[in-house]
Chain A
């Protein structure tokens, strides 16, 4: 029989009161266990989203600045359902022939004309053939025509022929890897790189334009021309000249894009601000709730122990009359509170894993807002209306993954929770225990 026996007996003797204290402390400790990982997760997601938005904004700006002298011309989508799936090659945009190339080159102030070839998916083929010119460095004036997110192997480079870069979904569908041989419309290509699939690019096999022409038997033709002019001032006059060649041509230019981009940028900026304010809201709400939980534990323990000390004044007097030191009295009351908190934290840890997602969403703001113009795709990618601005890079906005909000309680956080519970138990019981220890035995004996 020692101090621990006395403490446990007393807890057991006051079962109802002890249970109420354990329950209250348990609820508060559950918050303390659940909130930090949830806040951390949400803060990470939100910060990451903010970073993505800022990067995206920068990318858009630099891309448009780069292509300020660029004019893109193509035929619009003119889908003929009767054609779909009937042949090996399907040109959704309509083809522009070699004479169009010559006409474009002959327009004054035009510096370079880059043909792009792109067919579409057919019933027999679940990927597009995308031909890009790889003849010389001027063909790379618009880097966005090239595969942009190589995850294995390498990108296409000047002089490449007989090689392709495929997106990872197509690679999976056709069991391809870097170095694989791939039959495209009867010709063997070697896979030199795998790029990440993106909604803007779609399922796509990218190769040298010459190769694409050869296998599709469309030499000299293009689905899109990139026209670069000598200086920004000439863009409008060149656009007018191109439009006069064929009114059906859809023309977009860097200058036109700039207008759209300013709208996009303000939209991005709005989203960034919104996410930043969400981030600070998550942090301040979480911090307030943590403080409240800490206060709840301390106050509960404090009042319970004050009540207990008052109720057991005579027992304290008796113990002191028997020669108990202040330390023994202090220890007994603090140990009682600490033991109650220990029981509470064990229960709190047991239930935290189950209630974490629910509590987390009840107590904290959602991390990332989906703003106007943003459409969520699987795996957390967001597609930001690329067609309207002629910019086709996918925005990766975290927070919408399938495993979204999967914060977990680690062994470290469990240990921390136990430590915090012991500390709060000690803190809450310190004043009542000191009060008990300092009780004058004669006064305690007189207490009724």
Chain B
């Protein structure tokens, strides 16, 4: 097995919008190594979210290859894709997408329950990842009783709980204030550095993107720029720097 966790070859996506064909991705190629923290940037409509959805197996490529841990998910039918989503992918959404009637621990446990983990394992692991994201003592709180920053931490803990091959974060700081934005980016950065978690993050915020290893810019369905970043600690950045 190679050290690539993700390899994309000639990925094209076409979909219908009314009578018109829209092609958000055109012959896109991309390699992501294990443990890499990658940011994807680009203007609205450049295909960032479409790319993330295809990597996350919640959308299908029109053509090309998408290999996750050497499995070409572009060829898999829906009946098998759920296993990839369940075992290999952890999603973090802009709007957190927590289940409102479950508390923080239950939300985290849910991803493990779907992955078929036993209840005993689930509880222990949920407490562990909630502690990792700094939410010890908040396990019983439901989403509406948590701040937005805390909700996003729960969402990260949920993605992290099942040890996925890749965490896909779709504008995880998009709905957060400056302080929370900084903390979430720092958390993702720490997870990547300390636990070697592979993270692919879509963001509009260049300052946030600068905290990753690599910054890709999408334009017209292709990667127009692939830049190595410093991944410097956010603690050294002034708050204004990461303000949108």
Of A153-161, A323-331, A367-375, the stretch lying at the interface with chain B is A323-331
**Contact: B58 with A323, CB < 8 Å?**
no
Question: In the complex, what residue of chain B is closest to A323 when comparing beta carbons?
Answer: B86
Flag whether A1 is at the interface (Cβ < 8 A). yes
**Contact: B101 with A13, CB < 8 Å?**
yes
Within 8 A of B (CB), among A419-448: 440-442, 445
Flag whether B109 is at the interface (Cβ < 8 A). yes
**Contact: B110 with A321, CB < 8 Å?**
no
Question: In the complex, what residue of chain B is closest to A324 when comparing beta carbons?
Answer: B114
Flag whether A186 is at the interface (Cβ < 8 A). no
- CA separation between A317 and B58, bound complex, in Å? 9
One of B59, B102, B113 near A442 (C-beta < 8 A): B59
- CA separation between A70 and B198, bound complex, in Å? 113
Q: Which one of A1, A322, A325, A440 has the highest number of Cβ atoms from chain B below 10 Å of its Cβ?
A: A322
**Contact: B97 with A314, CB < 8 Å?**
yes
- CA separation between A321 and B56, bound complex, in Å? 8
**Contact: B85 with A1, CB < 8 Å?**
no
Flag whether A239 is at the interface (Cβ < 8 A). no
Within 8 A of A (CB), among B52-103: 53, 56, 58-59, 82-83, 85-87, 89, 91, 93, 95, 97, 99-102
* B118-153 Cβ-contact flags toward A at 8 Å (1 or 0): 010000000000000000000000000000000000
**Contact: A6 with B114, CB < 8 Å?**
no
For B, the interface residue count at a CB cutoff of 8 angstroms equals 27
Q: Which one of A5, A323, A442 has the highest number of Cβ atoms from chain B below 10 Å of its Cβ?
A: A323
Flag whether A2 is at the interface (Cβ < 8 A). yes
Residue numbers in A under 8 Å from B113 (CB-CB): 1-2
- CA separation between A315 and B115, bound complex, in Å? 17
- CA separation between A110 and B101, bound complex, in Å? 99
Question: In the complex, what residue of chain B is closest to A327 when comparing beta carbons?
Answer: B82
- CA separation between A434 and B91, bound complex, in Å? 24
- CA separation between A319 and B86, bound complex, in Å? 10
Given known contacts A1-B113, A320-B85, A322-B86, is B53 in contact with A442 (CB within 8 Å)?
Answer: yes
**Contact: A323 with B82, CB < 8 Å?**
yes
Residue numbers in B under 8 Å from A5 (CB-CB): 106
Q: Return B96 CB to nearest CB of chain A, in Å.
A: 9
Residue numbers in B under 8 Å from A97 (CB-CB): none
Flag whether B189 is at the interface (Cβ < 8 A). no
Interface residues on A, range: 20 to 34
Residue numbers in B under 8 Å from A12 (CB-CB): 101
Given known contacts A9-B102, A13-B100, is B58 in contact with A322 (CB within 8 Å)?
Answer: no
**Contact: A321 with B101, CB < 8 Å?**
no
Q: Return A86 CB to nearest CB of chain B, in Å.
A: 91
Q: Which one of A10, A320, A326 has the highest number of Cβ atoms from chain B below 10 Å of its Cβ?
A: A320
Q: Which one of A315, A325, A445 has the highest number of Cβ atoms from chain B below 10 Å of its Cβ?
A: A445
Residue numbers in B under 8 Å from A6 (CB-CB): 99, 101-102
Residue numbers in B under 8 Å from A442 (CB-CB): 53, 58-59
- CA separation between A326 and B115, bound complex, in Å? 14
Given known contacts A1-B110, A319-B114, is B82 in contact with A324 (CB within 8 Å)?
Answer: yes
Q: Return A326 CB to nearest CB of chain B, in Å.
A: 8
- CA separation between A13 and B114, bound complex, in Å? 22
One of B82, B99, B114 near A315 (C-beta < 8 A): B99
Flag whether B111 is at the interface (Cβ < 8 A). yes
- CA separation between A86 and B85, bound complex, in Å? 106
Q: Return A315 CB to nearest CB of chain B, in Å.
A: 6
Residue numbers in B under 8 Å from A13 (CB-CB): 100-101
Flag whether A122 is at the interface (Cβ < 8 A). no
Flag whether A318 is at the interface (Cβ < 8 A). yes
28 CB contacts below 8 A, A to B, read A1-B110, A6-B99, A6-B101, A13-B100, A314-B95, A314-B97, A317-B97, A318-B93, A318-B99, A319-B99, A319-B110, A320-B58, A320-B82, A321-B85, A321-B89, A321-B91, A323-B82, A323-B83, A323-B87, A323-B114, A323-B115, A325-B82, A326-B82, A440-B58, A441-B58, A442-B53, A445-B53, A445-B97
Enumerate chain B interface residues (CB-CB to A < 8 A): 53, 56, 58-59, 82-83, 85-87, 89, 91, 93, 95, 97, 99-102, 106, 109-111, 113-115, 119, 158
List 15 other contacts, CB 8 Å, given A2-B113, A315-B99.
A1-B113, A1-B119, A6-B101, A6-B102, A319-B99, A320-B85, A321-B89, A322-B91, A322-B158, A323-B82, A323-B89, A323-B111, A441-B59, A442-B53, A442-B58
